[in-house]
Structure 1
Amino acid sequence: MGNKYIKLAKCVLLDAIGMASAAIPVAGPVIDVIWAPVAASISYKLFGNKRGKYTSLITFIEELLPVTDFIPSFTIFWILFDFLKIGKEEPSFSDTREADLV
């Protein structure tokens, strides 16, 4: 299993965690308030510096808004950026994980 599909598995798991709060009637909104900044931070780190600025903001808002728990935002971002390669980031010198240094 390649890195791309390991990242997909992480995205599906993170979406499941975000959706789980909808199953808890009273505590769900409180959990969403706690989960929103955590999910936004993970989204920023998962999708890179440039795209992460936008994904983290969208994820934060999606997790805070009521009735949006069913939206699999992490998986949608994975499909857009990793599967379809939309808006591919150029590797920077500060990010040696993606840069091919010879």
Structure 2
Amino acid sequence: MKKYQKLIVSLVFDSLGYVSFIFPPFDFIWAPLSAYFMTKLYKGKEGKIAAVVTFIEEALPFFDVIPTFSIMWLYTYVLKAKSKAN
């Protein structure tokens, strides 16, 4: 998957996290699914760590506003890329 395709998918997944504000039981389904999707989008150790963070963030009430997938995209393609360039 290309860089900007991942950004779009990340934005969609972050948006899905907001469903629990309307339908709170959605978190029971979305928390493990979001962790799984995170490991598929972002490979390696960083992806696994992000999956744990995503699971916890989605499982806890009121933390769904954190755009974890988008933050991981920024880390992968902006911050990490910038540190490799230096």
Give the TM-score, by structure 1 length: 0.74
Q: Report the equivalent of 1:78.
A: 73
> Structure 1 or 2: larger helix share?
2
- What corresponds to 1:56 in structure 2? 51
What runs of 5+ residues in structure 1 fail to find an aligned partner? 89-102
Deviation at 1:49, TM superposition (A): 2.2
Instruction: State the shift of 1:3 in Å.
Output: 1.6
AA in 2 matched with 1:60: F
Unmatched tracts of structure 2, length 5 or more: none
Aligned mates of 1:51, 1:80 — CA distance in 2: 10
Shift in Å, 1:21: 1.6
Deviation at 1:57, TM superposition (A): 0.2
Q: Residues 32-51 of structure 1: matches in 2 within 5 Å?
A: 32-51=27-46
2:4 is equivalent to residue 5 of structure 1: yes
Counterparts of 1:51 and 1:8, CA distance in 2: 16
- Alpha-carbon distance in structure 1 between the residues aligned to 2:28 and 2:44: 24
Are residues 1:65 and 2:64 paired? no
Q: How much has 1:44 moved relative to structure 2?
A: 0.8
Q: Which has the higher contact order (CA 8 A, sep 6+)?
A: 2
Cα distance in 2 between the residues matched to 1:70 and 1:85 = 24
Aligned structure 1 segments of 4 or more residues deviating by more than 2 angstroms: none
Specify the structure having the higher radius of gyration (Cα).
Answer: 1
